Structure 1
């Protein structure tokens, strides 16, 4: 699986006006139905997993081009209109709805590996809170899955200080975890170990979990002392010139470390003896403990995590906001006449497609009957 992209969005207040909800339902239903007819449900999963395509869809159906609600509202609308009958399902949602993903997976009538989907849902949430720590707390997760087993995950976190939300997109296109170019605003205090350059840090963290927890706690305390500018014997062995802490690390590890709590977590993980970093995440490695171990990997073992935020801004999808307008009047209020013209066009295309398929079935049946008479 791989990170397909990230988008940063300002928090907006207010609600979708009642007149706009049916427009959004019919527009999104028409677009998704045509895509399924043309390309199949798995291609729709792939498209929704792309942050820029998703943002474009959100704009086309009339939602704000830059709102945090573009995630929750658009996915909520899609979940309503898609159902399971087209070989596509959207599970989960905002807040408590995200916790119902496992039971919604069980209710799927698709021939897919349901236990694997449950594991993927949990693992992706852990990666975006623990392996990537960028100041955003997750409050939304949607799992999109096709009847062929293709899955994508869209989840969103909130940063209370900046008042921005960040949307994360995942898709099962690769056998290893990697990061693509993504859309978002850079942060100066991020840490992550999903980058290729952080393989050494992941390896060290796994090794630390398997060691005697008391030794690991001592190394965390030693690293914390180094973070505060206190030297140890190796500093003087190296001539008193060794630079211990990078400016990025100082920003990331500013908060004090709760040694007692972290020690309890490490002891439990040590009992499991995870075979991989992913397994450690699934067995309880959380953000605080992971960050303490990243600090040890950096300052003591010289295997730093990446301090580069996974977000950049390669493309601005604002132009799609000109399709029918936006909820908050940017770039202009939703043009209902244009929106309903588009809806009628889409729905007519769907009806013609149904008739074409029906005509084909009739033609094949008549051909079969005529062959049987000869």
Structure 2
């Protein structure tokens, strides 16, 4: 079973030293060379989609085990050193506005890629929507990268920042058909107390889809009625008598955050006009976090179908597992050892070069064999 999911990382303000960047690039290229020779592009995608393995990779190239920058720096370096034509592997998107370039970069992939760019662009948007609208855990996305192999296997790695705790959370996805309804296999990190998780509530999603077909003015009345029900009783009694059992007040407070009802009604009206047939379509048409909170509240209090309030994190991880390879840029667990780094680089480059030469020699030998066979046939 593939492990995809989440890793939590504190914000680090320090930048990667200029002298370390060439080492990181060269080491990353050497590791990628070995992985491609050993496994091929599909397996490399699978490995990077695993939050534990990705963490180990960025530790090995010199990032600190707990740095939020490990995601942006590592993916930025991989994007620079990977050659789609030669490697059968590509990294698209990136930090900030670069994340919006995924569709354009998918369209520009070389001809050796057997990829449906439009379908992957749609999946890219749905994954981002799922981790901002269907799962509301207090983290605002600022990085989104889609990695794809020439056969079409893909992974999405995106990161969000919690402005209150100053912790980053990294989300991993891998080659699934339906991000809105399929669960991740595993999520690594620290559990949050306040989470609205519509993603993992089948019944709530069904009710919400029914609500999207209703007259938006009726939804407005139901939302105001829900808020009145909350104001009419104490929070403690609401939680203890609610339909979801014993949960924390922080969790309930997630979708009690004020929403602009007029804006919600406007969004619902625009979406309803286009008659979406699935929640997937509704998300792509413009349903956002505020509207989803309002609909979730109605689903819970009016129709007795609550969303989940459980943070989907369920896989512990050992952040120090690979942290003692060459050290970390900020000196955690110790400063980067240049000598060790170059020793590792030289070893990997030598291995990769030898393997490539052997592969080339094998191809030459096979061609010679074919020529000999053709010569024998022509002679007879």
Aligned counterpart, 2:367:
365
Deviation at 1:370, TM superposition (A): 2.6
Deviation at 1:259, TM superposition (A): 1.0
Q: Flag structure 2 segments of 5+ consecutive residues without an equivalent.
A: 235-239
Aligned counterpart, 2:254:
252
Mapped contact 1:129–1:138 kept (Cα < 8 A): yes
Q: Describe the SS at the equivalent of 1:304.
A: coil
Query: What is the CA–CA distance in structure 1 between the aligned matches of 2:317 and 2:32, rounded to whole Å?
Result: 23
Aligned counterpart, 2:237:
none
Q: Relative to 1, partners in 2 of residues 1:254 and 1:194: Cα closer, same or farther, differing over 3 Å?
A: closer
Aligned counterpart, 1:43:
43
Q: 2:211 matched to 1:208?
A: yes
Q: Describe the SS at the equivalent of 2:320.
A: helix
Aligned counterpart, 2:286:
284
Summarize deviations over 1:64-118 as a string: whole Å, max 9, x none: 1100000000000000000212110000100011111111111112231010011
Aligned counterpart, 1:157:
160
Aligned counterpart, 2:137:
134
Deviation at 1:369, TM superposition (A): 2.7
CA RMSD in angstroms, aligned pairs only: 1.9
Query: What is the CA–CA distance in structure 1 between the aligned matches of 2:256 and 2:339, rounded to whole Å?
Result: 54
Aligned counterpart, 1:238:
none
Aligned counterpart, 1:180:
185
Deviation at 1:230, TM superposition (A): 4.9
Q: Relative to 1, partners in 2 of residues 1:43 and 1:173: Cα closer, same or farther, differing over 3 Å?
A: farther
Summarize deviations over 1:145-180 as a string: whole Å, max 9, x none: 111011110000111100101110011146551133
What does 1:90-239 align with in structure 2 at a 5 Å threshold?
A: 90-109=91-110, 110-173=113-176, 176-195=181-200, 198-230=201-233
Q: Flag structure 1 segments of 5+ consecutive residues without an equivalent.
A: 232-240
What does 1:60-99 align with in structure 2 at a 5 Å threshold?
A: 60-85=60-85, 86-99=87-100
Deviation at 1:317, TM superposition (A): 2.9
Query: What is the CA–CA distance in structure 2 between the aligned matches of 1:373 and 1:106, rounded to whole Å?
Result: 44
Aligned residues: 363
- Determine which of 325, 333, 337 is the counterpart of 1:335: 337
Q: Relative to 1, partners in 2 of residues 1:45 and 1:216: Cα closer, same or farther, differing over 3 Å?
A: same
Which ranges of 4 or more aligned residues in structure 1 deviate by more than 3 Å? 173-176, 241-250
